[in-house]
Amino acid sequence: MQGAPSSEVTWQTPMRVVLAAALVLCISVLFIRWYEARARAESDGQAALALIEQQPASVNVQAPASLAVAMKPKEAILSLSHCIGAQCTTMYAQPMAAPCDYAAGFQPQCVTLRSKANIGYTLMVRYDLLAVLMTAGIDLAVSGGVFGIVLLLWYLHVQKAQAKGKAAVAQQVKLGAERDPLTGVLNRVAFEAALKRHNESTKQASKGTDGCLMYFDLDRFKLINDTHGHIAGDVVLKTVAQRLKYTLGDVMIGRLGGDEFAVLLVDIGARDKIEQLGKVLIEQVSKPIQIDKVSDYVGLSIGAYMLKRGELSVGDMLHRADLAMYEAKRTGRGRLVFYEESMENASRGQAEVQSDLKKALEERQLFMVYQPELDATERIRGMEALVRWRHPTRGMVPPDEFIPVAEKNGLIVPLGKMILDMVCADIVAMRNEHIQLPYVSVNVSLRELSSPTFVDDVMATLNKRGLTPADIEFEITESTAMVGQAGKESVILKRLSDLGFRLAIDDFGSGYSSIARLLDLKVQKLKIDRVFVWAIGKPDFDPSLLELMIALSRRLGVKSVAEGVETPEQAAWLREAGCMMMQGYLYARPMNQAQLINWMKLQQGDHDFDGGVWAATQSTETSVV
Ligand code: C2E
Ligand code: MG
Ligand code: MG
């Protein structure tokens, strides 16, 4: 730690100053005491001299009787010698005390006083310097001792306070290093460490499971982040963490990164209890969250792994809970799913798709199929291009399986380029066969739109094939359209629109479009998601949403297209409700280029072809691919 040496320096420096000051003080005290003793000896000597000189001046000066009495209390005076010239007589002496003898050299304990009355008379006073210094020394030692004890106590106090401070800082650092700074729950490292401790704890092995690891992922979090910004995202994460803490109480909660949290529930082995808890958690987390001035919400998908201490490593336990969470996401979100072994195969399958997809791009295993869109009079008005992957060993892989993987790993950008190129080549091939398609709709993902070269790449592909923007429509999903509102994708959509490309909102009704946004985007079509069409005629069918979407398209002046029309009843209901276009197996399954040419020629042969009229001749995609 960097702070430690500096705190020692600050302690040592005043200590040295205090010791130096104590030394100076001692010397000064000793000097002052010596000076005082000498001054007292001088004044006592003057008094003694006055007594002696009361006698008449003579060579045989005697010590007056009163001298001994006067001197007695002044025990610091050891001897008095009266000298006339060099001849000295001892006037007073304590037992064992020697008189001053200047012949012996410098004697600091002697004072010589000269008589003012008799010239040549001197009095040599020997005083007890040693006793004075001893007394001073004892005084100093006592006060030094007291001072030392005080100093020592102070030092110990400071040391203790410092040690306490250091421990508090160390504790804070430890806590800080363990906590996620945004939400206050454990961070990934600390959570995994705690999980490891729990896993290794020596509890008597139980027969069944003895805990549950829950893995949480927020639904719609990316949308919140992209539409409201990252600060709003932080508010959501904090709120969710609070709600988890509030609902779960004193259990181990960790944030594993992004919008992923995990919880360890100890000594709980009943699945139904976990299911109940999952319901409460989903309900609590999904409540509206106030972000600035608007209110929004997120959902919660939960994967649960029922664990037994010591059975698996921490990594494997988390992997299993994570797989279950993915299954919860895949099967509708906002639910809890328990881990099952079969999920391992699915995850291995996803990893395989990822590595095989790269090869598929290189080896051109992908091709396009086309599905017509017809108007109310069953004339062909558009054609949707859908990608297909003929895998060398797995056979046909549906786009729902590999498009999300490609979106995740970024391969969607080269894949998208290849798709557009194939579509353009097919349009040219059909034109060469004298089949004029009104335009072809191409699906694009958000990830493709975020590529900075998207528009340039599209234009380069079109130019290469001699086509124009009028030949292409881009289908963007509703959530892509909403997300694009906040970022550079919005600019790209605007550029595409300005260049003359048509735009369609795909899977309309499955997201949360704002009408203002739809107007802003200048879309030509709203493609109503097939789940709404599928519901037509079913016992609990509620027509209000479908009617609303059709009415909205009309008011916005854009075409409504119903996806996934499979039965004549659905078609009749939609026509009656005013839906302008339809697409589905009822009319045609997606067809590859060769089949489409045949199919279109059939329409031309059977009818006076003016853009295409649907005939009863239906293709089946299974036979196509
Ligand atoms: P989407 O754009 O909504 O495409 C319509 C899907 O509905 C297609 O499935 C089509 O085969 C299917 N469909 C058409 N009529 C019916 C019907 O009557 N009943 C039923 N049950 N389904 C019908 P597909 O081809 O499997 O595509 C699934 C999704 O994959 C597409 O949904 C689209 O989001 C994505 N996708 C397909 N091709 C591409 C592509 O080239 N690029 C990108 N980015 N995404 C694509
Ligand atoms: Mg589509
Ligand atoms: Mg769709």
Average pLDDT estimate for 381-399: 91
Cα 313 to chain centroid, rounded: 25
Looking at the predicted structure, is the pLDDT value of residue 614 above 50? Answer: no
Q: How far apart are CA 406 and CA 518, in angstroms?
A: 27
Q: Phi, psi (5° rounding) for residue 441?
A: -90, 130
In angstroms, what is the span from residue 386 Cα to ligand 3's centroid?
10
- Cα separation, 566 vs 534, whole angstroms: 8
Q: Whose CA is nearest to atom 17 of ligand 1?
A: 564
Substitution site in 401, 426, 443, 581 for ligand 1 pocket (most atoms within 8 Å of beta carbon): 443
Residue 423 has pLDDT above 80, yes or no: yes
Q: What is the DSSP string of 92-106?
A: EE-TTPPPP-GGG--
Positive or negative torsion for Cα 335, 340, 345, 347: positive
- What mean pLDDT comes out for the span 162-180? 67
Please give the number of the atom of ligand 1 that sits closest to the Cα of 442: 41
Tokens encoding 255: 């944030």
Q: What's the CA gap between 218 and 616, in Å, rounded?
A: 47
Average pLDDT, the chain: 84
Tell the residue nearest (CA) to atom 35 of ligand 1.
Answer: 399
Provide the percentage of residues in the chain whose pLDDT is more than 90. Answer: 40
pLDDT at 625 over 60: no
602 or 516: which carries more pLDDT confidence?
A: 602
CA 20 to centroid of ligand 3, rounded, Å: 89
Residue 564 has pLDDT above 80, yes or no: yes
Ligand 1 centroid to Cα of residue 179, in Å, is 44
Residue pLDDT, tens place only, 187-204: 999 999 999 998 888 665
Q: One-letter amino acid identity for 625?
A: V
Indicate whether 209 pLDDT > 80: no
Q: How many whole angstroms separate alpha carbon 59 and alpha carbon 82?
A: 11
Q: Judge whether residue 255 has pLDDT over 90.
A: yes
pLDDT band at 485 (very low <50, low <70, confident <90, very high): low
| CATH number given to 365-597 | 3.20.20.450
Average pLDDT of span 578-603: 92
Cα atoms found within 13 Å of the Cα of residue 38, Cβ hemisphere only: 12
Q: Give me the pLDDT at residue 8, please.
A: 47
More confident residue, 89 or 318: 318
CA-583 nearest atom, ligand 1: 15
| Residue 619 in this model has a pLDDT that exceeds 50 | no
What separation in Å is there between the alpha carbon of 128 and the centre of ligand 2?
A: 117
Tell which CATH architecture fits domain 188-339. 2-Layer Sandwich (3.30)
Nearest atom of ligand 1 to the alpha carbon of 407? 44
The CA 69 to ligand 2 mean position distance, Å, reads 130
Nearest Cα neighbor of 243 from 307, 206, 297, 195 is: 297
Residue ranges around ligand 1 (CB below 6 Å): 371, 386-387, 398-400, 403, 419, 443-445, 475, 506-507, 530, 563-566, 583-585, 590
- What pLDDT shows up at residue 616? 35
Query: Which pLDDT belongs to residue 236?
Result: 95
pLDDT at 280: 95
Length of the chain equals 625
The token duo for 605 is 């042969």
Q: Starting at the edge strand that comes first in sequence, how are the strands of the sheet with 252-257 ordered?
A: 252-257, 260-266, 211-219, 299-307, 336-338
Q: Is 264 exposed, middle or buried (0-12, 13-18, 19+ CB in 10 A)?
A: buried
Alpha carbon of 387 to ligand 1 centroid (Å): 8
Atom of ligand 1 nearest to the CA of 371: 14
* pLDDT computed for residue 177 by the predictor: 72
Distance 549 CA to ligand 3 centre (A): 15
Task: Round to whole Å and give the CA distance between 235 and 291.
Answer: 7
Pocket test for ligand 1, best of 390, 489, 563 (most atoms within 8 A of CB): 563
- CA-nearest residue, atom 13 of ligand 1: 564
Around 358, how many Cα atoms within 13 Å sit in the side-chain half-sphere?
6
CB 360 within 8 A of CB 388: no
Specify whether the CB–CB gap between 214 and 262 falls below 8 A: yes
> What value does the mean pLDDT take over residues 100-129?
79
| 476 CA to centre of ligand 3 in angstroms | 9
Which of 22-26, 197-201, 313-317 has maximum average pLDDT?
313-317
The ligand with the least distance to the CA atom of 480 is 1
Q: What is the pLDDT of residue 393?
A: 87
R_g of the chain, CA atoms, integer Å: 51
Mean pLDDT confidence for 456-478: 94
Residue 38 C-alpha to ligand 2 middle, in angstroms? 115
Asked which of 206-220, 384-398, 420-434, 522-536 is least confident by mean pLDDT, the reply is 206-220
- Which ligand is closest to the CA of 582, given by its number? 1
Residues with CB under 5 A from ligand 2 (ion): 443, 475, 506
CA of 386 to the centre of ligand 1 (A): 6
Atom 8 of ligand 1: nearest residue by CA position: 386
Q: Identify which of 120, 121, 124, 127 has the alpha carbon closest to the alpha carbon of residue 53.
A: 121
Name the range with the highest mean pLDDT among 22-26, 95-99, 400-404, 421-425. Answer: 421-425
pLDDT higher at 248 or 98: 248
Assign 349 to helix, strand or coil: helix
Concatenated DSSP letters of 96-137 = TPPPP-GGG---TTEEEEE-SSSTTEEEEEEE-HHHHHHHHH
- The CA dihedral of 334, 338, 344, 346, to the nearest 10 degrees, is -40
Atom from ligand 1 closest to the CA of residue 621:
11
Least confident of 163-167, 338-342, 609-613: 609-613
Mean pLDDT computed over 489-510: 89
| Structure tokens belonging to residue 152 | 């020592």
Which residue CA neighbors atom 33 of ligand 1 most closely? 443
Largest distance between two CA atoms of the chain: 172
Ranking 42-51, 133-142, 171-180 by mean pLDDT, the lowest is 171-180
Sign of torsion, CA 291 297 301 306? positive
Tokens for 256, please give them. Answer: 């594993």
pTM over 0.85: no
Q: Which atom number of ligand 1 is nearest to the Cα of residue 529?
A: 3
